[in-house]
Structure 1
Amino acid sequence: MALSDADVKKQIKHMMAFIEQEASEKAEEIDAKAEEEFNIEKGRLVQTQRLKIMEYYEKKEKQIEQQKKIQMSNLMNQARLKVLKARDDMIMDLLNDARKKLNNIAKDSNQYPTLLEGLILQGFYQLLEPKVTIRCRKEDVAMVQAAVQKNIPIYKEAVRCNIEVRIDENNYLSPDISGGVEVYNADGKIKVSNTLESRLDLMAHQMMPEIRVALFGVNQNRKFMD
């Protein structure tokens, strides 16, 4: 049975409608899949950037924390150095005060001659030389001569050796020295400095740990006292 033109047109129209419907559905499917892939990719990119941002700020936070620790350490070191300097200044002030009082010892007519005797005899024992030379202040010559005469028998008795002592009256110690003597061997190459200033310096060095403890208390971080 032959189809009329109207039937053909109707079938063509129906087929076109079907094709359009399938195309529309396919397009919607493609759009949906594209939207899904877009959202997935967008989420991935957002998460990646979020992690990068978090990593960046975590790194910055660590850098800032490290800088804070370094600054705090520097400030503590500066404070510690200031404290140490203040303590050293205090000790130097005490030693300077002690040096100023040395003159009072030499002015004591009862104490100073006995002190000279001890300083001279100690010089003999330290050198253990058969010939020695003593230098002193010009105003102490008479006292030194008396001390030498008193100490020679004591020295001979102790070491069983003779000793010849010369007082150097061509080269006196500076009048700025508070007192005491310098004792030399025969050629002058070995010297024992027993001036009051040198004895004070020696005692200060030996007693420095005790002085620090007396002034500032025990340092808990200090393992050795010498």
Structure 2
Amino acid sequence: MALSDADVQKQIKHMMAFIEQEANEKAEEIDAKAEEEFNIEKGRLVQTQRLKIMEYYEKKEKQIEQQKKIQMSNLMNQARLKVLKARDDLIADLLSEAKQRLTKVVKDSGRYQTLLDGLILQGFYQLLEPKMTVRCRKQDLPLVRNAVQKSIPIYKATTKKEVEVQIDQDTFLSENIAGGVEIYNSDGKIKVSNTLESRLDLMAQQMMPEVRTALFGANSNRKFSD
């Protein structure tokens, strides 16, 4: 039985509606899948960027922390150097004051004579030469003569050696020193400096650890002591 035109049109419309529905459903499926893939990719990109940002700021934080440590170390070193300089300046001032006080020793002739006796005899023992020359300040000549006269027999008795000592009356020690003597061998190439300043410097050098401890306390960084 043949279909009428109306039936054909009806079937065509039905098929078109079915095809359209299938197309809409397929389009919705594609849209849903695209949306899902978009969200997944967006999440991945966001997470990647978040990790990059976190890594960037972690790196920056480490750099800042390192800079802070370096700056703190520099500041501590500068402070330490300032403290050391202040301590050295204080010790230098104390030595300068001690040298100024040497003039008081010289003004006491009896005390100064005893000191010269010891300095000259000690110089003789240090040189141990058959001929020696003593040099002093011009104003100390009388005291130095007395000291030499006393020291020669003591030196001979102790060393069992003869000695010839002369006092240099052509060249004198500087007036800027507090006192004491210099003793030379016969050709002047070997010298023992027993001026008051040189003796003070030597004593200060030997006693510097004790001086520093007395002024600033024990060094906490020092592991061993003599």
Amino acid at match of 2:70: I
Partner of 1:107: 107
The change in CA–CA distance for 1:171 and 1:224 in structure 2 (over 3 A counts) is farther
Amino acid at match of 1:81: L
Between the aligned residues of both structures, percent identity stands at 78
Q: Distance in 2 between matches of 1:67 and 1:10?
A: 84
Compute the TM-score of the two structures, normalised by the length of structure 1: 0.97
Question: Does the 8 Å contact 1:183/1:192 carry over to 2?
Answer: yes
Compute the TM-score of the two structures, normalised by the length of structure 2: 0.97
Partner of 1:212: 212
Partner of 2:82: 82
Classify the secondary structure of the residue corresponding to 2:208.
helix
* Shift, 1:224, TM fit: 5.2
* Shift, 1:150, TM fit: 1.0
Q: Distance in 2 between matches of 1:174 and 1:224?
A: 43
The reply on whether 1:23 has 2:23 as its aligned counterpart is yes
Q: Distance in 1 between matches of 2:222 and 2:168?
A: 46
Question: Does the 8 Å contact 1:185/1:191 carry over to 2?
Answer: yes
After superposition, give the CA deviation of every residue in 1:78-123 in whole Å (9 maximum; x if it has no partner): 1111111111111111111111111111111111111101101111
Partner of 1:175: 175
Amino acid at match of 1:210: E
Partner of 2:163: 163
The alignment's C-alpha RMSD in Å is: 1.2
Question: Does the 8 Å contact 1:120/1:147 carry over to 2?
Answer: yes
Any gaps of 5 or more consecutive residues in structure 1? none
Any gaps of 5 or more consecutive residues in structure 2? none
Q: Distance in 2 between matches of 1:224 and 1:162?
A: 47
Amino acid at match of 2:174: S
Partner of 1:151: 151
Classify the secondary structure of the residue corresponding to 1:135.
strand
Q: Distance in 2 between matches of 1:6 and 1:126?
A: 146
